[in-house]
Structure 1
Amino acid sequence: MTHHAPFQCSRRLFLAGVGTTFAGALLAACGDSTAEVAATDVPVGSAVIVGKFIVAQPTAGEYRAYSTVCPHQGSTINAVDGDTVVCPAHGSVFSIADGSVLTGPSGQPLTAAHLEENAGTLSVGQ
């Protein structure tokens, strides 16, 4: 019968593993942190969902962008309903004009995203 000694993890191996795991998790969480959409594809008085962002045009020529992450429990907002967006998990409804909560349970507004317009293209990022 062969007897094997139990595996022992050195401090160096442990720290390397922790660092590698953290870096991988960080990269996975970041994913694609930018998106682009033609300004003409965003309807006046409504919004579109592009990647991880909500791009809205509350009034003609005025653009806003928000994260699709619902501030209530982190679910992904995936529905536009006229001048609002709706979280499918618990039904929170948010205004596209300013990201405010119209119907809870969310107690926090949408997180604004950075938006730039250049030659008819809207670029959105964190």
Structure 2
Amino acid sequence: MSAAQERRILLERRTVVLAVGAAGAAAALTACGGSDGSGGAESAGQPGSGGEGAAVLARTADIPEGGGVVFAAQKVVVTQPKAGEFKAFSATCTHQGCAVKDVRDRTITCPCHNSTFDAATGSPTGGPATRPLPAREITVEGGSITLV
């Protein structure tokens, strides 16, 4: 198993642990009455739900500069094209719907037919894909990246 594959597995495990922890915290708030009007469990979202309190997808330190990480469960790829700049795109290749595999040297690669995409824009840079990867909305706050 490559170092990149091990990193992805660790990040996916971390995401699960954080999501479970967030769900537990939301349940505790609901059980305690949550009289502040915040909505308790109803406002605690999951990645991609767009709700306030959505679970953290990754830490900014987990996304390498010039590279990125594919989050298969959320079908999103998060990149850091240059220091401190984070982008997110659908991890589904626009050629035939395969999942993109990795991000290296500012390039997102699909393993099915070797389509490549620019990690800063999602635009195709090679292969049979002719349409860009759709952008996904993320927020970056306090060292955390959250899928909106």
Fold shared per TM-score above 0.5: yes
Unaligned runs of 5+ in 1: 1-31
Contact 2:68 2:102 in 1 (8 A): no
**Would you say 1:99 and 2:122 are equivalent positions?**
yes
SS of residue paired to 1:69 = coil
- Following TM superposition, the consecutive aligned residue runs of length 4 or more in structure 1 with deviations greater than 6 angstroms are none
> Which residue is 1:42 aligned to?
63
Q: Given the two structures, how large is their TM-score scaled by the length of structure 2?
A: 0.59
Contact 2:103 2:119 in 1 (8 A): no
Report how far residue 33 of structure 1 moved: 3.7
How does 1:27-66 map onto structure 2 within 5 Å?
Answer: 33=48, 36-51=57-72, 52-66=75-89
User: 2-side partners of 1:121 and 1:48: how far apart?
Assistant: 14
**Would you say 1:108 and 2:100 are equivalent positions?**
no
Q: Which has the higher helix share?
A: 2
Unaligned runs of 5+ in 2: 1-46, 50-55
SS of residue paired to 2:61 = helix
User: 1-side partners of 2:62 and 2:123: how far apart?
Assistant: 23
**Would you say 1:78 and 2:101 are equivalent positions?**
yes
49-58 vs 36-45, greater mean Cα deviation: 49-58
> Which residue is 1:26 aligned to?
none
**Would you say 1:119 and 2:139 are equivalent positions?**
no
SS of residue paired to 1:36 = strand
Contact 1:72 1:106 in 2 (8 A): yes
Q: Which has the higher strand share?
A: 1
Q: Percent identity?
A: 35
User: 1-side partners of 2:114 and 2:85: how far apart?
Assistant: 26
Contact 1:37 1:50 in 2 (8 A): no
